[in-house]
Structure 1
Amino acid sequence: MRLFPFGTTAVANGPALINELRNAPDDAFSFAEFADKARYTISPALKESRYHVPIVRTTLTRNLAGLFPDLLDEMNSAFKESIFNLDGLKDGEWKSIPVHRNIMELVCRTTNRLVVGAPLCRNKEYRDLIINFTIDVAKSSMFINLFPTFLHPIVGPILSQTNKTQRKMLRLAGPLIEERKVKLAADKNYADKPNDYLTWILEDAPPGFEQTTEGWAIRLLQMNFAAIHTSSATFTHAIFHLATQPEYMAVLREEIDTVIESDGWSKASMQKMKRLDSFLRESSRLNAIILTSLNRFALRDYTFQDGTFIPKGNFVTASLYSLHMDDENYEDAKVFKPWRFVEMRENGEEGESVKHQFTNTSVEYLSFGLGKHACPGRFFAANEIKAMMCYLVQNFDVKLPDGVTERPTNQYFGTSVTPNQTAEVMFSRRKRV
């Protein structure tokens, strides 16, 4: 364990220390206090109440199978009505597409089918607001972290676009929130009640500010930031790997075509695609959205078992990068091996298959965090990304632009990692035989 400059952040390395950090009591290390800058980038309400977390972790996950047809319907429409519609291309003709921003458009629309439903998820002004908000929050968080904690109350409001964004969200989503609120007050089980995130937070919000239109609008912003930022980056990274090594397309395509032909499009089908699952897990291992994980704030003095003393008021985090790039954890750790995890599932001890699935967390794999604060929406994100990868593989061929031979390099700012924001990939309609 070592300290960052200024002696404010300790970094835990190795499974033993990470497990201890994971299991430390909440009165010692706080996740909410570490994430306190969200009060400036999104809202202070997120610190006061985290009632949305069990909704995402339990209610959304439990409803995924039933909601999968809606997700699929929106995804199909989103692809066909976006820049990825290649119907005008001739056979063998290629089109260069800037990947990341366009993937954000797809993810935003598809995600919001399950967040606010149609037609709002198809409203371009609403989607632009969400996407720009997602980018603004990521940038603001990075810049706020450049300043000492005691300056955050000063620089946070200056750097953030939160108030402006909230006013726009109230204008766009407010009427829908009010309409649903009135209907629920009259009849909790009214006819055609939408089964989506907005309904769930309306039903479960604690008294006070959370039961206001403004409070619910903030929860919609928070949900969208969490879902779109991570899923867009994960999907973009996977596309970059596929375009760099298009020989993997045939293997994925065989699996996807076989499963869908046999079982159709469903959540259960997504779970049967072991090579696709491995491809995404390996891509996320090499390209997690942050170099650290298990970020915590010390509420009191704490001494780790190795003797490291953490004074109250310091930050503690786990080194995701060193774990994911450790040859003792992964052979040739810096090499992209798409079937790494499916081989580990097949060759591992009996009962360990689940350990190497995309959404599983462990002290060797921290892309989704670890423990009780692991990403609550990872099962939804995994199914959404898998469905989009299936669509892409079934309908397109991909490659890097002419003259480009290496995968677009990731972009780093502090400990944050993003896919290359301007990189383009060549797309062509799949050649059917």
Structure 2
Amino acid sequence: MEFDLGRNLSAPAPGIVPIADSRSYTVTLAALWIPIFIAISLLWYGRLESPLAHVPLVSTGKSSFWDIGHKKAKESFAANARKIVAKGFQQVGNTKPFRVISDLGEMLVLPPSMADQVRNIDALSHGEFMKESTCAEVHGFEPFFESTGHSLLADMTKTKLMGSLKQLTDPVNETATQACKDLFPDDDDWHEVVLKDILLEIIARMSSTIFLGDEEVRHDKAWLRLTKEYTVDSFLAAHQLRTYPQFLWPVLAMLFPQARKVRDQLRQAEAIIRPLIERRRAEKAAALADPSIKLPERYDSIEWLEQTSQDRKIPYAPVAMQLTLALSAIHTTTDLITTTMYELLRCPEVIRHLRKEVVSVMGSGGIKHSALYNLKLMDSVIKEAQRIKPALSINMVRKATANITLPDGFRIPKGTMLGVSHHGAWDSAVFPEADKFDAFRFVRLREQPGNENRWQLTTLRSEHIAFGHGLHACPGRFLAANEIKIALCHLLMKFEWKVAGEVKPRIIENGIFLDSDPGVRVLVRRRKGEVEV
């Protein structure tokens, strides 16, 4: 900054400030620096006086006095969360909580042994955690608000979607059949593909069939592109905003290119979905006015959301909700089927066992809803892949909306961000040889008397919290399980697979998120299936 002290002849030499001006200059500096010093002092004092001061803080080794916003600590956690959490449990023991400076701010990490204690506490809000961590109240992030600001999505899933899984099996299977025809060459030669890209397209199409029913827009390339891209772009934009104070988010979202891109995607979604919603509502209004008009029975989320919204008297934004469904289902399901396929590529003998199971269970009747339950080895394979590489290394994420005292006397202050570590699923004392992929692990567990239904893919247990546990467990896990099983039947029965080269899939770590490697290339060719799926 340059200070112009005047250019007249009577002015002092450059660099010399007059006495009167010097006092003014000093006052000005004081006015500038005293508030800054107070703010720094308060921030530092607040750091020392954390409401969680009674809980050990595990250092990342990256913070310093001047790192007021914990920027270095947050960056370190984003890159090394699993190592930092493992370090924490080494320090405090496997049954005690500790706190870390995560990329979301200060966070309480609970051991798996505490999962049952906190799973059903109303004052531990999953919605409030997600609302803050996804910038849900900033324009452009409305789809996140639709999943955190009210219970409509969970209500619809539990009351409508769950009861319609049987009716959805045929259309989802038909979509998978068509996707395989469109996406894979129809010859006997080996072809190289990026596996995750192919799987993402298949799952996006299957999910679009469920969410949009028989509407033509479910095939719209622009819509499918949005459902795949919005999730990634919105997470990147939210991550960028979270590095700044929350009160600045609305302003910065108007400036940052990534956040502007998200808003533009929302506008594109409006242009595609809004006419469909308005047409459906007009049809209903016409049918109410004229009883002779008969509307078709529909099994899709458009209809379920309208019904649930009216029944529960919950207003919502239909277009944003469709993107909510996409970001809630498509990438997580794709990640799980990708992880499963990576494990199968390492164990080709398991693929042979799975094909035999499909032939035995499906017979000549093709894929039926009732048969999916009997694919017990496939269920075990998916659950084992999920055990080894879940979507989150810390799950059951919550924000305390009140002061809580657990039965053992442990205090959780209001405002605490917390989660439960997934590492119980990697503990050989819980799962023997936990570091190894065992395709039959959960088949054997289900064969034990009394355990027939306790170790299914969709079963919730504190030892395996990949789908969450308790009050806020993933309500769409049954749909995801069915989608993955249907897709695997097509992929394994119709094609042969092998890894292209010696590339070992990596786990992409971004804070508590664990993503399957997006770049693994595989070889695929057609095969003649023993049964028609």
TM-score, normalised to structure 2, is 0.74
Contact 1:142–1:413 (8 Å) recurs in 2: no
User: Would the alpha carbon gap of residues 125 and 105 (structure 1) be closer, same or farther in structure 2, given more than 3 Å must change?
Assistant: same
Match of 2:92 in 1: none
Q: What SS is found at the alignment partner of 2:354?
A: helix
- Where does 1:80-91 land on structure 2 (aligned, <5 Å)? 80-82=181-183, 85-87=184-186, 89-90=187-188
Contact 2:377–2:443 (8 Å) recurs in 1: yes
- Cα distance, 1:148 vs structure 2: 5.9
Select which of 398, 404, 411 maps to 1:309. 411
Query: CA deviation digits over 1:208-228, x for unaligned, max 9?
Result: 99767xx10011010111010
2:482 and 2:351 map into 1 onto residues whose CA distance is 19
Query: CA deviation digits over 1:151-172, x for unaligned, max 9?
Result: 6555566453442122111111
Match of 2:99 in 1: 3
User: Would the alpha carbon gap of residues 297 and 104 (structure 1) be closer, same or farther in structure 2, given more than 3 Å must change?
Assistant: same
Select which of 127, 145, 148 maps to 1:32. 127
1:295 corresponds to 2:397: yes
Unaligned runs of 5+ in 2: 1-96
Select which of 273, 285, 299 maps to 1:195. 299
Q: Which amino acid aligns with 1:68?
A: T
1:234 and 1:140 map into 2 onto residues whose CA distance is 24
2:247 and 2:385 map into 1 onto residues whose CA distance is 37
Task: Give aligned-pair identity as a percent.
Answer: 26
1:357 and 1:61 map into 2 onto residues whose CA distance is 17
1:324 and 1:145 map into 2 onto residues whose CA distance is 30
Q: What SS is found at the alignment partner of 1:239?
A: helix
1:366 corresponds to 2:465: yes
Match of 2:194 in 1: 98
Q: Which amino acid aligns with 1:105?
A: E
- Where does 1:6-405 land on structure 2 (aligned, <5 Å)? 8-15=106-113, 17-24=114-121, 26=122, 28-36=123-131, 37=134, 38-40=136-138, 41-43=141-143, 44-82=145-183, 85-87=184-186, 89-90=187-188, 93-118=189-214, 119-147=216-244, 152=249, 158=256, 159-160=258-259, 161-187=261-287, 190-206=294-310, 215-261=317-363, 263-320=365-422, 322-346=423-447, 348-350=448-450, 352-404=451-503
Query: CA deviation digits over 1:245-301, x for unaligned, max 9?
Result: 212110000001221115531111111110000000001111111111111111222
Which region of structure 1 is more displaced relative to structure 2, 373-382 or 253-262?
Answer: 253-262
- List structure 1 runs of 4+ shifted beyond 6 angstroms: 207-210
2:437 and 2:475 map into 1 onto residues whose CA distance is 27
User: Would the alpha carbon gap of residues 34 and 150 (structure 1) be closer, same or farther in structure 2, given more than 3 Å must change?
Assistant: farther
1:424 corresponds to 2:524: no
1:150 and 1:345 map into 2 onto residues whose CA distance is 51
2:404 and 2:245 map into 1 onto residues whose CA distance is 22
Match of 2:74 in 1: none
1:326 and 1:73 map into 2 onto residues whose CA distance is 40
User: Would the alpha carbon gap of residues 100 and 323 (structure 1) be closer, same or farther in structure 2, given more than 3 Å must change?
Assistant: same
Contact 2:395–2:468 (8 Å) recurs in 1: yes
Q: Cα RMSD over matched residues?
A: 2.3
Unaligned runs of 5+ in 1: none
Q: What SS is found at the alignment partner of 1:294?
A: strand
1:155 and 1:298 map into 2 onto residues whose CA distance is 27
TM-score, normalised to structure 1, is 0.90
2:228 and 2:348 map into 1 onto residues whose CA distance is 29
Query: CA deviation digits over 1:126-150, x for unaligned, max 9?
Result: 1011111122133334444555656
User: Would the alpha carbon gap of residues 144 and 291 (structure 1) be closer, same or farther in structure 2, given more than 3 Å must change?
Assistant: farther
Contact 2:494–2:527 (8 Å) recurs in 1: yes
1:297 and 1:166 map into 2 onto residues whose CA distance is 27
2:142 and 2:330 map into 1 onto residues whose CA distance is 15
User: Would the alpha carbon gap of residues 5 and 151 (structure 1) be closer, same or farther in structure 2, given more than 3 Å must change?
Assistant: farther
- Cα distance, 1:34 vs structure 2: 0.3
1:359 and 1:146 map into 2 onto residues whose CA distance is 35
- Cα distance, 1:186 vs structure 2: 2.5
2:353 and 2:460 map into 1 onto residues whose CA distance is 26
